[in-house]
Amino acid sequence: MRTKVIIIGGGPSGLLLSRLLSLDGIDNIVLEKQTKCHVISRIRAGVLESGTIKMLRKAGVAHRLETEGFVHEGIELSFKNHGFRIDLKKLTDKHVTVYGQTEITKDLYDIIEKENGNVINSVENVCPQDLDKNNPFVTYNKNGVEHKIKCDFVAGCDGYHGISRKVIPQNLIQIYERVYPFGWLGILSETPPVSDELIYANHGNGFALASMRNKNLSRYYIQTSLSDKIENWTDKKFWEELKKRLPTKASDTLVMGKSIEKSIAPLRSFVCEPMCWGKLFLVGDAAHIVPPTGAKGLNLAVSDVYYLYNGLKKHYLSNIDEDLNLYSQKALSRVWKAIRFSWWMTTTFHRFPEQSDFDQCIQDSELEYLENSVASQTVLAENYVGLPF
């Protein structure tokens, strides 16, 4: 079997790349180790930048997003239980849209299946080979049978733990990483959100975030120790701690209920340079991870898709390789800007171990200055709604 592009990983970035290539008649095959049911059941957040929405429109999967997604023209920040609003629309003439990553994945699967795209689920032992030569190929097992697909290029959209990055000789890549000394304890509850917009709260006890999935499904987070256990957090204990950290107005109106999902997630920043080797191109979490504080993870993966798709399109339709050769450079420029913004959000809103009263006062002062500076708010807003691709 032969195709032009093999995409390893059937998450949102892999599916989006597949869909866009197919629209331009560029043959591709997606290999995904999990079942479709497993992939579309993953619960992920979804704060979408305008550039991400444009890409989803181009792929023809924006209808549900535009009818069911929640347009947010601002966010609320808080310190000392005092909240203030950042008017994203006024400052940038842009907004973000809250629409779950799970729903994006469903939409992409639906249209790819409708248009007879080629996604092969439940594959094992995926192995890209000869990536530094002119005739790369990928082998995999399906139902106990080994298969081989020849190709021109391989796109590694298989996440941090996937095989794609691991096949690059380690002496040819540089890894940058920062592991943060805390995690997020998150719950999902069938309660109305406490606010129409997201709330990011700095508090002496630690960070808190109020988010939502829909009008009757809320997602809340509080900073906790990485050594903490979910079983140590009853719903009652969680709500009590969340109320302490939110701005007073939100705390007073918070609707509490039984959690239907509870988990603790670590936070880290990770970048692999370069994002390509031979005929292999890394996309999304395979090449970089950001803490969720800045809401950049999925959006960065989509911007990677944008650069790679355009490079492949020009290669096949115009016989021009400049954009493909510059893929890593262009993608990494945007990645590092998002890494910086996510680092700033994380260090400004979280309480670090051994943090002193002086450190807390610096954070409070930073946020007080932000509340009263249009210039500072504009910098935050420009980064939050998404820098240009």
**Active site residue ranges:** 72, 200, 292, 296, 384
Only one residue has tokens 């999304």, namely 284
Q: What is the DSSP letter of 29?
A: E
Only one residue has tokens 């990645």, namely 335
Sheet strand arrangement including 276-277: 119-120, 28-31, 5-8, 153-156, 280-282, 276-277
For residue 24, what is the enclosing H or E element?
none
Tokens of 295: 């809401």
Extended beta strands in the chain, E state: 5-8, 28-31, 47-48, 70-72, 74-79, 82-87, 96-98, 119-120, 124-129, 137-142, 145-150, 153-156, 174-189, 199-202, 208-214, 217-224, 259-273, 276-277, 280-282, 288-289
Q: Rounded to whole angstroms, how far apart are CA atoms 142 and 125? A: 9
User: Using CA of residue 55, residue 379, residue 381, residue 245, what is the dihedral sign?
Assistant: positive
Tokens of 118: 């080629």
Q: Rounded to whole angstroms, how far apart are CA atoms 44 and 99? A: 10
φ and ψ at 54, to 5 degrees?
A: -60, -40
For residue 6, what is the enclosing H or E element?
strand 5-8
Only one residue has tokens 């969340």, namely 242
Q: Are 217 and 95 in contact (CB under 8 A)?
A: no
Among 328, 284, 227, residue whose Cα is nearest residue 44: 284
Among 252, 231, 244, residue whose Cα is nearest residue 185: 231
Distance of CA 34 to the CA centre of its chain: 19
Report how far apart the first and last C-alpha atoms of the chain are (Å, whole number): 35
Task: Determine if the peptide bond prior to 274 is cis (ω within 30°).
Answer: yes
